[in-house]
Amino acid sequence: MNKTNPQNIWQGFHWSFFINVQGLIICMLRFEQLIDKDRIKLAGIELQTAANLMLAAAASMELAGDFSRAEYEDYIRPTMMSPNVQSDNFSGLMFWDHAYLMKIWQQIQPKFKNMPLRLKSEQDEFIMAYRTLAKSHKRVCSEFGGKEIASLHSQNTTAIKILDKFEYSRHKLISNSSIKTV
């Protein structure tokens, strides 16, 4: 059997991940427009689709790490460090897709906080899909030493601690403290 190159696995499934993130951006923008127009049923479809895209992104994340820790340390991690990148704190946060999605989530946070009651189950699915994505990211990271080694994003803490912090802040953006009735 011909073994696939770890770099190809890592890159290919990250590309897949970012395609799902781009689809998620479209869903979130459409969700916002539909909520503003009080088109609740269609907004729910966008939220369900967004949840499915996050689950697909979680699968991409898991598949991106389908090789050994030694291969990660030898072939993958060095590609995310100087001199291969011009940054001392490399992170997926640097990609435009991720930055734009976080901007959208911040922008529509009031809609998540005041979600119509008719969309409670869709919002719950969306939140669970985000949790699945976060867990998948942490699982892959842990397999490659993320509990022990410093994060590429911040040399002062482990990668898992950084991911925990991100999960907490993003969960706050998409969860609701109150649900209004419609």
Whether 82 is covered by a domain: the verdict is yes
pLDDT in tens, 45-84: 999 999 999 999 999 999 999 999 999 889 888 887 777 6
Whether 117 is covered by a domain: the verdict is yes
Phi first, then psi, for residue 118 (nearest 5°) are: -65, -15
Q: How many other C-beta atoms can be found within 10 angstroms of the C-beta atom of residue 100?
A: 15
The single-letter code of the amino acid at 41 is K
Whether 121 is covered by a domain: the verdict is yes
Whether 25 is covered by a domain: the verdict is yes
Whether 120 is covered by a domain: the verdict is yes
Total number of domains in the chain: 1
Whether 179 is covered by a domain: the verdict is no
pLDDT in tens, 108-163: 999 999 999 999 999 999 999 999 999 999 999 899 888 887 776 667 788 888 88
Whether 64 is covered by a domain: the verdict is yes
For 1, counting Cβ atoms within 10 Å of its Cβ (0-12 exposed, 13-18 middle, 19+ buried), the class is exposed
Note the pTM of the prediction, 2 decimals: 0.86
Range of the domain at 161: 6-174
Whether 109 is covered by a domain: the verdict is yes
Alpha-carbon distances of 164 from 6, 27, 32, 131, rounded to whole Å: 26, 25, 27, 11
What is the H or E stretch that residue 102 is in?
helix 96-107
1 falls in which pLDDT band (50, 70, 90)? Answer: very low
Give the residue-averaged pLDDT of 10-20.
92
